[in-house]
Amino acid sequence: MMMPLGSQAILATSVVGTLSLGLMRRPPALALRALAVAAVAGAMLFAIWTPEDLISSAITRCDAMSIGWLYLIGLGSLPFALTLDGEDDVLVALFLGSVLGMSLLAAAANLPMLFIALEFMSLPAYLLVARSRRSDLALEAAIKYFFAGGVAGALFILGLAMYYADTHSLAASTALSPLGQAGTVLMAAAALFKLGAFPLNWWLPDVYEAAAPEVSGFLSTAMKSAAVLFLMRLCELAPEAKFAAYLPAIGAATALTGAIMALRQERLQRLLAYSSISNAGLLIIGVGAWAAAGRSAEGVSAILFFLGAYAFMSNGTFAFLGHSGLETRTQLKGRGASRPAAAAAFTILLFSLGGIPPTGGFIAKLLLLWRAVDAGMFWPAVIGALSALISLSYYLGMTRDLWFEAPQGPAPAPRSGASLVIACAVGILLLGAAPWLMSSLGGTLIK
């Protein structure tokens, strides 16, 4: 018999176990690393094997969407768990605590539970950014992240109060007055803050640039998956909310802004941060199309596939930066010959981010934009496609720098992590060749 909230219980136990090991004078690094990997992998396996409707209450639920998103959160978190050296027990505990908050968000069935899960996943993430690098920039970025998260939390609480004043309910409600509509707009703004939607994206480039590359990969994949689920749950809990009609326009503006801003970036992590904003815009278009089409299973499938593919793409590209030690496009020049295997994998990931076939990124963008066209959202889909076309200029430009430019200066000493980059590239090629793999691994989400 399956235990309700089993994945969440596994992650909670791992947090307690990590803190217990931290009480030792010299916590065993290998044990901490193994615990982190085992906790994330165990939560994923439990999610896949959990039947739908195992639990259903006013607070928590276990449906197809929660099972699929637990898997996605694990897929985005596992690469960071694999890169942990286990030397810092606090860092491991913060990481597992944030993943636990994301898993609670997947099981949330009402608005207060959504807020609790939002804060549970966010508070450790602020400290994770500050602790990932011993620098003033990381501390400054963590403070910016904290204040952005504080604004998002305040907006949600204010919106929740307005929603309750209108409906006298903290669960789903179909009839909303202008007061309730305003409340849902504020709660949706909190989700858009977490996604880095335009114009609420001012904090994201600084955070992604200052954090360690592995942490940025985790934030851009697992955290993004949780934020998308957060937005979709709001659409479910307030099906008559009018904010959903504006999501495609917000997504189009976000996608185009991120793509254009990435053009002028020299620092690689900052460039990938704006790339993350652009991809978040495509996801927001997808959520808007899903809501407009009556929250269909096909729309969920397209979003799921995109997030699964992006977990490989973003984690892999940030892992390459961590492995190579490269920080600027100037340093990237001519480094393909010195690290051919990792550089070739990085090139595949860049092609996938640009939506070049036969990679999984091409299919992911095609599915998402097709759902938007099918929902009658022609112009947001066109702008989303335009943003993808613009992004090719810097993805292909980075490929040119890597393989066809002369090296400038000595290369930084490589670190471990090449195998992770290669694994992500293999994963994205497999999704391009056999996209049905995401359906199989996603369990019951895609039918």
Give 267's strand partners. 328
Q: In the numeric block, which tokens belong to residue 285? A: 């278009």
Listed by start position, the domains of the chain span 241-447
Whether the CB-CB separation of 238 and 172 falls below 8 Å is answered with yes
Q: In the numeric block, which tokens belong to residue 330? A: 């100037």
Question: pLDDT by residue for the chain (447 residues), tens digit each?
Answer: 456 677 888 899 999 988 888 887 777 888 888 999 999 998 888 877 766 555 566 677 777 777 888 888 988 999 999 888 878 888 899 999 999 999 988 888 888 888 898 898 999 999 999 888 877 888 888 998 999 888 999 999 999 999 888 888 777 767 778 888 888 889 999 989 889 898 888 889 999 999 889 999 999 999 998 999 889 988 888 877 888 889 999 999 999 999 999 998 999 999 999 999 999 999 999 999 998 888 777 888 889 999 999 999 999 999 999 888 888 898 888 888 888 888 999 999 999 999 898 898 999 999 899 999 998 889 999 999 999 999 999 999 999 989 888 877 776 766 777 899 999 999 999 888 877 766 554 444 444
Check residue 269 and give its pLDDT.
Answer: 93
Whether the CB-CB separation of 36 and 124 falls below 8 Å is answered with no
**Segment 15-18 long-range contacts (CB within 8 Å, at least 24 positions apart):** 15/93, 15/96, 15/97, 15/100, 18/89, 18/92, 18/93, 18/96
Q: Where do we find the tokens 């000493």?
A: 413
Where helices occur in 238-267 by DSSP H, the ranges are: 247-262
Instruction: State whether residue 174 is helix, strand or coil.
Output: coil
Query: If you write DSSP's letter for every residue of 186-238 in order, what string do you get?
Result: HHHHHHHHHHT-TTS-TTHHHHHHHS-HHHHHHIIIIIHHHHHHHHHHHHHHS
Check residue 267 and give its pLDDT.
Answer: 92
Q: Centre a 10 Å sphere on the Cβ of residue 45 and count the other Cβ atoms it contains.
A: 15
Check residue 53 and give its pLDDT.
Answer: 56
Q: In the numeric block, which tokens belong to residue 309? A: 């593919």
The amino acid at residue 201 is: N
The residues, ordered by sequence, that sit 6+ positions from 78 with a Cβ below 8 Å of its Cβ are 37, 40, 41, 44
| CA distance to 34, 106, 190, 224, 259, per residue, from 278 (Å) | 34, 24, 18, 12, 6
